[in-house]
Amino acid sequence: MRALNTLLLGLATTCALALPAAAQVSRCLSATPQPAGAPPNQIVQDFPAGSTAQTGWRITYGRGVAEGLYITSAEFRRSPSEPYITVLKEARLADIFAPYDPGQPRFFDLTGFNFALVPVSTVDLGACGTRVDPVVVKEIRDREMLWKNDTAGKRGQELVIWATLDASNYNYIMRYAFQDDGTITFRIGATAVNLPGHELVPHTHDGLWKIDVDLASPNNKVDVVRRLQSENSFQANFVVQPFNGGVEGYEDWVADEFTEVRITNPNVTNANGKPISYDLKPWQHGVPRHFEPFSHHDFWVTQYDPTETLYQDLPNYVSNRQPITSNDAVIWFQTSTYHIPRDEDGTYVSPNVWRGVALTMYSGFDLKPRNLFNTTPYYP
Ligand SMILES: [Cu+2]
């Protein structure tokens, strides 16, 4: 009897051990089969993954030495019966700036070097990632609760592509996520080994982004949205005003105004008659203000010009104050993390030998649709 019990217990243990592994594998969300003959740098993903499509993205990406990973188009559809709507013509890090608190060194990690992307490793892939390119990872992820209403709710999903820039001792993770509700998230993560000889010196990692939203056409207008509030009144209100009065220039992110930049196509409306927009929502820990003039303001907007690629030249690019009310506008935005070294970054194992890596720190922003849908997406 004891032998039989042991045998049964053994079988039960074997089954119990086998089940979690199988369940773990099935947690990976299904990638949409790619259309035959599609360009190799294109990714199509419908949501919900592996089920009857409701929404979907069709994106293309590019990558290069001194450029990292960037987006060369992003189109979204609200339902499988509708055509895709262009959202992005281009989005990239124009540069990455790492100035050290004593004043030197000051690195421009894209335009100042020829840094390449790191080949994808198995550790990058995790349980569910795929290598879409020798240096680019694709993941279809669960992103927790899209909405909740007591016991009702819906989990959200996203298509993520990311790559890692080998910036000498440092690494930068460049990550773009295209979500089921039309949101796009942009993140830059700083990690790897603190600067040799400066391991304990504070510095910032500034993501200098260039975002060309062409919402259903290149002819969009750009507004700035602020919450006006006062400690002397119960009341508050918001204002929507042309960015910099409607001409090329800059605006600042003001923490107590919840500042956002809104890109609208005034000629395309949803079924409720409202123009479709995207809101650029900062995701800030703080704002960098360095000696360099480009860093003196958070948002810059220029009229599209293919020769304008250098973030450092923004003050010159805006000097002729071209209109940005019904042209192809480009938004430039800086996001930053302040890295004060800590023991978790590593330690000196001998006077000049450092051992350890800085854990990843992210900065970034989201682009979120406004009046693109007619009502709540993914609601019964
Ligand atoms: Cu750092």
- How many whole angstroms from 171 Cα to the centroid of ligand 1? 10
Residue 16: per-residue pLDDT:
41
Ion ligand 1: residues, CB within 5 A, are 339
Above 50 in pLDDT, residue 220? yes
Give percent of the chain with pLDDT exceeding 70: 93
287 Cβ contact list (under 8 Å, min separation 6): 252, 253, 298, 334, 336
Residue 3: per-residue pLDDT:
47
What distance in Å separates the CA atoms of residue 340 and residue 147, rounded to the nearest whole number? 36
Above 60 in pLDDT, residue 192? yes
- How many whole angstroms from 347 Cα to the centroid of ligand 1? 15
- How many whole angstroms from 204 Cα to the centroid of ligand 1? 7
- How many whole angstroms from 157 Cα to the centroid of ligand 1? 31
Which amino acid belongs to residue 120?
A: V
Long-range contacts (CB closer than 8 Å, 24 or more residues apart) made by 148-152: 152/380
Label residue 325 by pLDDT band (50, 70, 90).
confident
Residue 162: per-residue pLDDT:
98
Above 90 in pLDDT, residue 14? no
Above 70 in pLDDT, residue 143? yes
Label residue 56 by pLDDT band (50, 70, 90).
very high
**Mean pLDDT in residue range 182-196:** 97
Above 80 in pLDDT, residue 272? yes
What distance in Å separates the CA atoms of residue 332 and residue 95, rounded to the nearest whole number? 11
Q: Specify whether the backbone of 125 is left (phi greater than 0), alpha (psi in -120 to 50) or beta.
A: alpha
- How many whole angstroms from 39 Cα to the centroid of ligand 1? 36
Above 70 in pLDDT, residue 26? no
**Mean pLDDT in residue range 25-44:** 91
- How many whole angstroms from 168 Cα to the centroid of ligand 1? 12
Three-state secondary structure call for residue 223:
strand
Label residue 326 by pLDDT band (50, 70, 90).
confident
- How many whole angstroms from 107 Cα to the centroid of ligand 1? 12
Above 70 in pLDDT, residue 260? yes
C-alpha to C-alpha distances, 136 to 9, 122, 211, 300, 366, nearest whole angstrom: 45, 12, 20, 29, 21
| Beta strands at 236-242 and 55-64: parallel, antiparallel or unpaired | unpaired
What pTM was estimated for this model as a whole?
0.92
For 239-254, the pLDDT digits (tens) are 999 999 999 999 999 9
Which residue did the predictor score with more confidence, 5 or 332?
332
- How many whole angstroms from 133 Cα to the centroid of ligand 1? 28
What distance in Å separates the CA atoms of residue 48 and residue 141, rounded to the nearest whole number? 11
- How many whole angstroms from 367 Cα to the centroid of ligand 1? 26
DSSP assignment of 192-218, as one string?
EPPPTT-TT--EEEEEEEEEEE-SSSS
- How many whole angstroms from 209 Cα to the centroid of ligand 1? 18
- How many whole angstroms from 358 Cα to the centroid of ligand 1? 7
Paired strand residues for 325:
none
CATH number of 37-370: 2.70.98.20
| 9 burial via Cβ count (<10 Å: 0-12, 13-18, 19+) | exposed
- How many whole angstroms from 288 Cα to the centroid of ligand 1? 14
- How many whole angstroms from 343 Cα to the centroid of ligand 1? 13
Residue 41: per-residue pLDDT:
97
**Mean pLDDT in residue range 93-101:** 98
Q: How many CB atoms lie within 10 A of CB 247?
A: 16
What are the phi and psi torsion angles at 333 (to 5°)? -150, 135
User: Mean pLDDT, the chain, as a whole number?
Assistant: 93
**ω into residue 134 within 30 of 0, thus cis?**
no
- How many whole angstroms from 190 Cα to the centroid of ligand 1? 6
Which residue did the predictor score with more confidence, 14 or 32?
32
- How many whole angstroms from 250 Cα to the centroid of ligand 1? 27
**Mean pLDDT in residue range 354-380:** 98
Domain residue extents for the chain = 37-370
Residue with token string 């994808």:
120
